[in-house]
Amino acid sequence: MFRKLRLRLTLINVLVMGLLCILLITSTYLIMNRQLFLQSQQLMELIASDAGSGTPATSLNAPEETTHDHRDRSKYFYVKTNETGDITETSSDSPLPSDQLKTLVQKTLTHKNPQGTVDFKDITFSFLRAPIQNNPGQIIVFVNLEHDRDILNILLGTLTIGGVIYLAFAFYGSLFLADRALIPIKKSWQKQQDFVADASHELRTPLAVIQTNMELVRGNPEESVESQTKWLENIQHETQRMSKLVEDLLFLARADSEQLPLEMKDFNLSFTLLSILSSLEAMAKNQEITLESTVQDHILFYGDENRIKQLIVILVDNALKHTPAGGNICIRLINSGSSVEMTVSDTGEGIEPEHLKRIFERFYRVDKARSKMKGGAGLGLSIADWITKVHNGRIDVTSHVGEGTTFIVNLPHCGNKKAKDKKNNELI
């Protein structure tokens, strides 16, 4: 799929470059052609004026008043005719014998317009007819266009070769740019593939457990419900686990598609944190874990209260899962001027350094076997990271194996208000 997309992007880019190159070559050719034509017309008018006023023909090769050099004038010549069309005078630099020159003049005189082009002996001449002063005859100035055409052909050939070389470089450059452009798409696609694969795997496990326990229950229809409590409890546990997993998956999917609007408001973050810790004390006590807190009073924060509650629950619940009996969990909340800092520290098993950079990735678990036993799917910290970032905050983690882990969340006071004001201004 990506190879076809890469080739398609390259061909589209080369096609655009090719059209621009053709446009450039065509416009350059036409401009140059027009410039040569105007130059020829101006010089023919000058020659006609000089010769028609009686200036000697020899002056045509080196007039002081013109900017055109001898090389330009060498392709020009003229003839003078009487009122019947007979040649009365010829410039010294005429390239044709008298009989051919007479034929050329007769072809020129048949033209209705006083200027134009005429073909003679496989040569194209441009001409200009003008009356002679104080004389009933005409002066006809000719210019051999073959030299101009040679210049234009050389120019066209040079531009074409340059265009081909340019398109060759454009092709390989487009391949390189297409590869660069596809890198984030490939990463995103791979993440999506991994996400789908991990989600399927996580859902398949509880479904398999539910199916197995259901078969055990149905295989013993004569047994009472009480005697099969073990299998039914397994079904209930896996159903709850799958329900939580689906809920987290839907949350992340909506977050990715930006379909999770925030209900921003001012609230007492200190009170919110203490109320959550109060509800989790029973769970900590059952696990023989000491839950300690140091919370600064009356910290007002502007944000989505429900999402902040979810963030706190995820971090404390994660600490409870990875702290053994007899351990301690300490939660601290302080107001540090422009931001609020919350830390959740535990005395659990800790995390190896090579895992720290990946713990916020979806479905990433340091110890998969232990995480499954504790009901973790590796999505909680991803959700916590999203909630922190959507509040323009930052979450960091430090850990030492065998000593514990500390999560540090910094949430700016003014960041969300600025974001809201900006959004409101855009809507206005």
Mind listing the pLDDT tens digit for each residue in 173-187?
888 888 888 788 777
Tell me the C-alpha to C-alpha distance, in Å, between residue 43 and each of 66, 80, 107, 192, 354: 9, 17, 22, 72, 81
Say which DSSP state 128 is in.
E
Q: What residue has token string 């020829």?
A: 40
CA distance 395 to 406: 10
Q: Tell me what pLDDT residue 68 has.
A: 42
Amino acid at 267: F
Tokens of 407: 């999560």
User: Which amino acid is residue 115, in one-letter code?
Assistant: Q
Distance CA 410, CA 393 (A): 5
pLDDT attached to residue 367: 59
pLDDT for 243:
82
Quote the DSSP letter at residue 86: -
Contact predicate 91/105, CB 8 Å: no
Residue 137's contacts (CB-CB under 8 Å, 6 or more residues apart) are 80, 81, 82, 83, 88, 131
Beta strands 290-295; 328-335: pairing state: parallel
Q: What confidence score (pLDDT) does residue 385 get?
A: 92
- The Cα 7–Cα 81 span in angstroms is 67
d(CA 404, CA 395): 17
Half-sphere exposure of residue 301, counting CA atoms within 13 Å on the CB side?
31
Q: In 3D, which of 412, 187, 158, 188 has the Cα closest to residue 303?
A: 412
DSSP E strands in 297-393: the ranges are 300-304, 328-335, 339-346
Are 114 and 129 in contact by the 8 Å Cβ rule? The answer is yes
Residue 59 is predicted with a pLDDT of 38
How does pLDDT run across 339-352, given as a tens digit for each residue?
A: 999 999 999 988 88
Q: Give the residues of the chain that fall short of pLDDT 50.
A: 55-71, 369-373, 419, 422-428
- According to DSSP, the residues that pair with 223 across neighbouring strands are none
The pLDDT assigned to 69 comes to 43
Helix (H) or strand (E) holding 80: strand 76-81
Residues with Cβ within 8 Å of 98's Cβ and at least 6 positions away in sequence, in order, are 87, 90
What pLDDT sits at residue 213? 85
Q: What is the pLDDT of residue 411?
A: 93
Three-state DSSP at 7 gives helix
Whole-angstrom distance between the N-terminal and C-terminal Cα of the chain? 42
| pLDDT value of position 347 | 93
For residue 105, give both structure tokens. 């003049």
Question: Among candidates 88, 91, 90, which has minimal Cα distance to 74?
Answer: 91
Q: Cα(96)–Cα(77) distance, rounded to whole angstroms?
A: 10
Residue ranges of alpha helices (H) inside 287-337 are 305-321
Provide the pLDDT for residue 2: 75
Element (H, E) at 399: strand 394-400
- How confident is the model at residue 65, as a pLDDT? 41
Answer whether 280's CB lies under 8 Å from 293's CB: no
Closest of 183, 187, 93, 188 to residue 141, by C-alpha: 93
Looking at residue 395, what is its pLDDT? Answer: 94
Tokens standing for residue 70: 């001898």
